[in-house]
Amino acid sequence: MLKTKYDSFALFLTMWLLMVSLSSFLGGLACYGKIVFHSDRDGNLEIYVIDVDGSNQVNLTKNPADDWNPAWSPDGEKIAFTSYRDRNNEIYIMDADGSNLQKITNNPASDGHPAWSPDGEKIAFVSTRDGNTDIYIMDVDGSNVQRLTCNPALDMEPAWSPDGEKIAFVRRLDDNEDIFVMNADGSSQVNLTNNPALDSRPVWSPNGEKIAFHTLRDGNYEIYVMNADGSNVMNLTNNSASDLFPTWSPGGERIAFVSNRDKYSFYFLIYIMDTDGSNQVSICDDPVPGARPEWCCFSHQRGFIPQKAEKIFIFTTIILISIFLISIFLMLIFLRRRNPHRRPEP
Ligand SMILES: [Ca+2]
Ligand SMILES: [Ca+2]
Ligand SMILES: [Ca+2]
Ligand SMILES: [Ca+2]
């Protein structure tokens, strides 16, 4: 039993500190729970973010022009996207809350589909500026543009490997699309899929070992995964509806995608499944129409812990250890008060 008000206070303080440490730890995980996507639910394409549990939807762009193809920066602090707001497709970067907008391409050709390098210093993108749809890279301020593909086919959808050394992309030729991979300087372009059906939207697993993609090889779009060298192809969805745009969770244990399988065939809702295709569920009961989701801060970064989350984890760990030691100290005082070692009375 608690013998004094000091005992009660020590116990209360201990419990409170444990609660604070737990909530602090959960706060460190918060970055893992965001998905960015585009949707035309408000009449034109806008960029939205949403928590993985379906709450806290925010429209980040709020512009009457179309805004689409969002991409998280590796640290989760910025989002690059394509917009037609200046009557020409250009790439823009904004802070993850929608503020601090910057236009980083300024070219009369169409520029879009940004993808960040894992070190956050470069952006791969697609442009028609040389008369053909090709993949380019530039610094994040838009300078130092280099062309990586020079092919009469359409080269699209660049995706940087987590180690920064390779870029996967889609090449469209003669009504076929295949997934290719090349070195980050554009050399050694290799076809990974070699299939007569359309294969597109490659996304690397956070550990760099797998590439997920969507494909029309079964008569309707399904999500597939393969080893990064194109071997060991596996079908993850098997549904008569369209299943599209896979994106890996930061730890690589789940894949989000969109599908029109439920309720509204004209609505693509966001779903999440395990990486073997099991446990496919919509992220919330309230439909979230959208396309091309990206899970913060998946697939681009070196390793799988986003830099910002890594800092939060280090900070949280230090706080946790400090609180744990203080808690033990207070508990010892509490126990000592309950069982004082008094000398027997003479
Ligand atoms: Ca818009
Ligand atoms: Ca342009
Ligand atoms: Ca193909
Ligand atoms: Ca399907």
Q: Which two tokens stand for residue 216?
A: 């029309």
197 domain-assigned: yes
Q: Within 13 Å, how many C-alpha atoms sit on residue 207's CB side? A: 7
327, 10 Cβ separation under 8 angstroms: no
The domain tally of the chain equals 1
Distance between Cα 221 and ligand 4 center (Å): 5
Distance between Cα 157 and ligand 1 center (Å): 21
pLDDT of residue 30: 40
Distance CA 243, CA 14 (A): 49
Task: Please check the confidence at residue 193 and state whether its pLDDT lies above 60.
Answer: yes
Distance between Cα 176 and ligand 3 center (Å): 5
- Among all bound ligands, the one having the nearest atom to the CA of 233 is 3
Task: Please check the confidence at residue 276 and state whether its pLDDT lies above 50.
Answer: yes
7 domain-assigned: no
Residues with CB under 5 A from ligand 3 (ion): 176, 178, 195, 199
Distance between Cα 87 and ligand 2 center (Å): 9
Phi-psi region of 200 (alpha: psi -120 to 50; beta: other; left: phi over 0): beta
256 domain-assigned: yes
275 domain-assigned: yes
- pTM summary value: 0.77
- Among all bound ligands, the one having the nearest atom to the CA of 241 is 4
pLDDT of residue 22: 62
Residues with CB under 5 A from ligand 1 (ion): 44, 46, 61, 63, 67
Would you list the DSSP string of 33-59?
A: GEEEEEE-TTSS-EEEEEETTS---EE
Measured in whole angstroms, how far is the alpha carbon of residue 264 from the centre of its chain?
A: 26
321 domain-assigned: no
Q: Is beta strand 154-160 parallel, antiparallel or unpaired with respect to 234-235?
A: unpaired
Task: Please check the confidence at residue 57 and state whether its pLDDT lies above 90.
Answer: no
What mean pLDDT is reported for the chain?
85
48 domain-assigned: yes
Task: Kindly report which listed range (32-36, 136-140, 168-172, 241-245) carries the lowest average pLDDT score.
Answer: 32-36
- Among all bound ligands, the one having the nearest atom to the CA of 43 is 1
Backbone CA torsion sign across 51, 57, 58, 62: positive
pLDDT of residue 27: 45
Whole-Å CA distances, 232 to 10, 37, 193, 237: 58, 29, 11, 16
If one compares 304 and 326, the residue with the highest pLDDT of the two is 326
Distance CA 292, CA 75 (A): 20
pLDDT of residue 251: 84
Q: Domain of 136?
A: 35-312
336 domain-assigned: no
Distance CA 289, CA 37 (A): 9
Q: Which two tokens stand for residue 125?
A: 């993108």
Q: What is the CATH number of the domain that holds 83?
A: 2.120.10.30
At 20 the three-state DSSP class reads helix
pLDDT of residue 306: 43
- List residues bridging with 124 in a β-sheet: 115, 137
- Among all bound ligands, the one having the nearest atom to the CA of 145 is 2
Distance between Cα 150 and ligand 1 center (Å): 32
Distance between Cα 230 and ligand 4 center (Å): 21
Task: Please check the confidence at residue 154 and state whether its pLDDT lies above 60.
Answer: yes
Whole-Å CA distances, 316 to 4, 23, 297, 326: 33, 10, 19, 15
Distance CA 47, CA 61 (A): 6
Q: Which pLDDT band holds residue 286 (cuts at 50, 70, 90)?
A: low
DSSP state of 289: B
